[in-house]
């Protein structure tokens, strides 16, 4: 089934923020960013910049009418720097001018004097100095690790570093703010969180929420990078509009976006793992040192998800996972597909790999022996229900013939000296729901018009993931009409208030269920009206299908359009508001126990790589996966999302390297220095099989979330490369640090 948004994208007809026909007289904003990572502001001189023809205003923190604060979880992030700057790219002043070029030229004329202070970029150093976002550790635990080490035949310890990742959405951060009558403002923002923008604008401008309307048309990608970090640019545009009474537009250049916005959190993690001689994991301890950057942003919630996924797809009876949210002088790091889960899983996979090497057994044997089973408990207290970890693993082994892959890899390596192959398996288990229980709510407004066409407005933001299509399919299924009769509206805070961000892979689940409830309410009204008017037999079965009313599975001559117009003439309400709150979830942040996830998504991937041992370059030959999609609403969308997440995960593990120097300056701030997977890097073969699974779960119509879980399959690429390196140089010993770039591969191929 084709995604209508995709068709418009291909034709070039999709409207993104910078394509929007802004009102005449729209002004343009540019930001003066801090050029140093940490320092005291001694003086800012804007006099020369103000003299430039076309400059309409320059604003600093002193010009903010409300609160100079955009922090979410913790109120620790100012909109415009006050006395101190804490990262390169921190906004200090907003320039508003007639054109974008004039505004940017004026930024270059601003003079500044900043006294530099010490810069910290390493989270462990921040921890040692007591620079923490949260003053104490977050700890998830079960059993007793301290009392279990003596029962282990093997105990291994180590350190793992996982790098950051640039979101690199096609559409950079952008916003347009317009004053409207009554002291109100309309904000069009490239945001995953329109309500977050609305609330922050109202706070900074010191006006009520109902005076701020925020709309998101569609995004040119988000991946989490526009969940919280789109807000600053929307608020800055609103500040300029408030001061000048004119529309103001801000669109960051690619280099500005990369410099000023946060990334996936880098982590440094210490682990200790204990096993029996046959490979059963008895005990696991891990300490995560999260590089939060200069402010909290969403780091505390991301750390919670890291801790919740510290044991991955495995049951471990004794666990102690501690997390430290460390404050550094980098841009505040933020949400990214997987939301901390990949960083947690990577550490345990490293521990298993190290144990397997020392115990002289394949890692996949340890993986298989410890997979989660039905009714087993996670360290946060929730028990597995409809657990598919073993099903996916066995299915992947059988469907893709793991024995054959193993033998082919071994034969290739025996026959080749300068090229070596490696393979690895990666099982996943990912919890679906916001870790903050409050956010697990959504609403939908459905109108059936008198001609039988339907309009659906939800809190879900379309950013290329196909959520609009899925929601339209929900309405189509309930009303029994074609998709061509159903329109998805833009996401707008005046139609759906108090929305949660489109994130946590929950957009289709929650907003789809809200739409289902709204449609069912209208369906019931139409059914009651028809039965009252036509008086069929008391036990008659009423249905809507193929555009007609069906009674007792027989098609009548009563079309959907006729039913609707008759209902309208009889004053039947054809609009409904549906509200959905994910059931049966709760979590106690004091004990770190509860039932935080509506359900879990499972899967297993096998990745094969081929390394050029002369150059250090490599290619991903194949990816074979069995994935738990549930009862998919739209297999085409789900498969493409799985493939996209997979490639992003492989990129994080292999080539996407973010480098800051010791002064906190981002060195990989252009696409000539920051590399992402392209068509040439795509695996020659990608096979993703749908696990047969129609179990009841909290996804709409028993479907399952797809956005984030397949990302973790990319971890297998890392260990497949390590295995290939070991085939060439069995004595190669190196620290586990991602990403494993070609440069690192080359160095390790010849390491002693």
Separation CA 285–CA 313 (nearest Å): 16
- Name 274's bridge partners: 155, 283
* Phi, psi for 176 (deg, rounded to 5): -135, 125
Q: Is 420 helix (H, G, I), strand (E, B) or coil?
A: strand
Residue 441: how many other CB atoms lie within 10 Å = 17
Q: Would you give the DSSP letter of residue 747?
A: H
For 651, residues 6+ apart whose C-beta sits below 8 A from its C-beta are 165, 676, 677, 714, 739
For 245, residues 6+ apart whose C-beta sits below 8 A from its C-beta are 179
Residue 477: how many other CB atoms lie within 10 Å = 16
Separation CA 431–CA 426 (nearest Å): 16
Separation CA 425–CA 622 (nearest Å): 12
Q: Which helix (H) or strand (E) holds 5?
A: helix 4-11
- Residue 360 preceded by cis peptide, ω within 30: no
Separation CA 316–CA 323 (nearest Å): 18
Region of 671 on the Ramachandran plot (φ > 0 left; ψ -120 to 50 alpha; else beta): alpha
Asked if 427 contacts 393 with a C-beta cutoff of 8 angstroms, the reply is: yes
334: which 2 tokens?
Answer: 């933020």
**Would you state the torsion angle of the CA atoms of residues 120, 125, 126, 129, taken in this order, to the nearest 10 degrees?**
-110
Burial 451-476 (b: 16+ CB within 10 A, else e): ebebbbbbbbbbbbbbbbbbbbbbbb
- Residue 237: C-alpha distances to residues 71, 102, 334, 642 (Å): 17, 16, 21, 36
Region of 424 on the Ramachandran plot (φ > 0 left; ψ -120 to 50 alpha; else beta): beta
How many residues appear in the chain?
Answer: 752
Pairing assessment for the beta strands 154-162 and 267-275 based on DSSP bridges: antiparallel
Separation CA 207–CA 210 (nearest Å): 8
- 141 burial class (0-12, 13-18, 19+ CB within 10 angstroms)? middle
Q: Which helix (H) or strand (E) holds 178?
A: strand 174-180
450: which 2 tokens?
Answer: 């008198």
- 537 burial class (0-12, 13-18, 19+ CB within 10 angstroms)? exposed
Pairing assessment for the beta strands 441-448 and 419-432 based on DSSP bridges: unpaired
CA angle 205, 211, 212 (to 5 degrees): 75
Question: Given the structure tokens 């408990």, which residue do they identify?
Answer: 377
Separation CA 265–CA 343 (nearest Å): 8
- Name 594's bridge partners: 587
Pairing assessment for the beta strands 618-627 and 685-690 based on DSSP bridges: parallel
**Would you state the torsion angle of the CA atoms of residues 473, 475, 480, 486, taken in this order, to the nearest 10 degrees?**
-80
Q: Is 18 helix (H, G, I), strand (E, B) or coil?
A: helix
* Phi, psi for 376 (deg, rounded to 5): -80, 155
| Residues noted as catalytic | 708
Q: Would you give the DSSP letter of residue 159?
A: E
């Amino acid at each position: 089934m084709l995604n209508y948004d995709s068709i418009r994208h291909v034709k070039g007809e999709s409207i993104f923020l910078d394509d929007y026909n802004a009102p005449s007289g729209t002004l343009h904003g540019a930001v003066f960013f801090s050029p140093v990572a940490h320092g005291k502001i001694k003086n800012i001189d804007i006099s020369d910049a103000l003299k430039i023809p076309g400059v309409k205003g320059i604003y600093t923190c002193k010009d903010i009418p409300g609160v100079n604060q955009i922090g979410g979880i913790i109120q620790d992030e100012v909109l415009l720097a006050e006395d101190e700057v804490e990262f390169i790219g921190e906004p200090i002043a907003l320039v508003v001018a007639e054109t974008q070029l004039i505004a940017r030229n004026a930024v270059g004329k601003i003079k500044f004097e900043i006294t530099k202070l010490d810069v910290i970029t390493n989270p462990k150093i921040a921890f040692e100095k007591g620079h923490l976002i949260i003053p104490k550790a977050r700890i998830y635990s079960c059993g007793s690790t301290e009392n279990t080490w003596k029962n282990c035949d093997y105990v291994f310890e180590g350190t793992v570093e996982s790098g950051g990742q640039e979101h690199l959405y096609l559409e950079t951060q952008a916003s347009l703010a317009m004053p409207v009558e009554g002291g109100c403002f309309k904000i069009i923002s490239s945001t995953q969180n329109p309500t977050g923008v609305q609330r922050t604008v109202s706070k900074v401008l010191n006006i009520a929420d109902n005076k701020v309307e925020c709309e998101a048309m569609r995004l040119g990608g988000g991946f989490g990078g526009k969940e919280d970090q789109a807000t600053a640019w929307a608020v800055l545009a609103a500040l300029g509009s408030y001061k000048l009474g004119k529309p103001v537009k801000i669109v960051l250049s690619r280099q500005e976006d990369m410099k000023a916005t946060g990334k996936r959190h880098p982590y440094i993690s210490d682990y200790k793992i204990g096993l029996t001689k046959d490979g059963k994991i008895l005990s696991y301890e891990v300490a995560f040192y999260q590089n939060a950057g200069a402010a909290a942003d969403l780091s505390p919630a991301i750390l919670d998800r890291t801790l919740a996924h510290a044991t991955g797809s495995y049951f471990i009876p004794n666990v102690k996972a501690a997390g430290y949210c460390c404050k550094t002088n980098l841009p505040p790091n933020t949400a990214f597909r997987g939301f901390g889960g990949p960083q947690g899983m990577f550490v345990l996979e490293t521990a298993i790999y190290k144990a397997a090497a020392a115990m002289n057994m394949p890692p996949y044997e340890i993986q298989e022996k410890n997979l989660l089973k039905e009714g087993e408990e996670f360290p946060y207290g929730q028990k597995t229900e409809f657990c598919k970890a073993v099903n996916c693993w066995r299915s992947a082994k059988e469907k893709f013939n793991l024995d054959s892959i193993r033998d082919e890899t071994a034969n290739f390596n025996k026959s080749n000296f300068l090229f070596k192959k490696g393979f690895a398996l990666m099982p996943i288990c990912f919890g679906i729901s916001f870790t903050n229980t409050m956010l697990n709510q959504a609403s939908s407004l459905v109108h059936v018009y008198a001609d039988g066409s339907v309009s659906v407005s939800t809190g879900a933001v379309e950013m290329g993931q196909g959520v609009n299509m899925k929601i339209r399919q929900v309405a189509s299924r309930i009303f029994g009409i074609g998709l061509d009769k159903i329109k998805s509206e833009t996401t707008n805070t005046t139609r759906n208030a108090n929305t949660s961000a489109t994130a946590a892979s929950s957009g289709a689940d929650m907003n789809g269920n809200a739409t289902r409830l709204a449609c069912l309410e209208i369906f019931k009204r139409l059914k009651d009206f028809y039965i009252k008017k036509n008086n069929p037999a008391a036990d008659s079965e009423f249905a809507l299908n193929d555009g007609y009313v069906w009674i007792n599975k027989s098609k009548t001559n009563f079309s959907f359009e006729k039913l609707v117009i008759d209902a309208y003439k009889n004053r039947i309400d054809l609009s409904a508001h549906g509200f959905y709150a994910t059931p049966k979830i709760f979590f106690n942040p004091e004990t770190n126990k509860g039932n935080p996830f509506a359900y879990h998504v499972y899967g297993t991937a096998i990745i094969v790589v081929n390394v050029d041992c002369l150059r250090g370059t490599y290619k991903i030959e194949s990816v074979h996966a069995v994935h738990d999609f549930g009862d998919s609403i739209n297999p085409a969308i789900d498969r493409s999302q799985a493939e996209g997440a997979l490639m992003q995960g492989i990129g994080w593990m292999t080539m996407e390297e973010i480098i800051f120097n010791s002064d906190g300056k981002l060195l990989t701030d252009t696409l000539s220095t920051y590399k992402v997977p392209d068509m040439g890097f795509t695996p020659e073969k990608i096979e993703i099989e749908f696990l047969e699974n129609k179990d009841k779960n909290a996804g709409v119509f028993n479907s399952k979330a797809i956005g984030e879980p397949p990302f973790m399959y990319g971890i297998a690429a890392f260990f497949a490369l390590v295995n290939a390196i070991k085939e060439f140089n069995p004595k190669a010993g190196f620290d586990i640090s991602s990403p494993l770039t070609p440069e690192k591969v080359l160095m390790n191929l010849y390491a002693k």
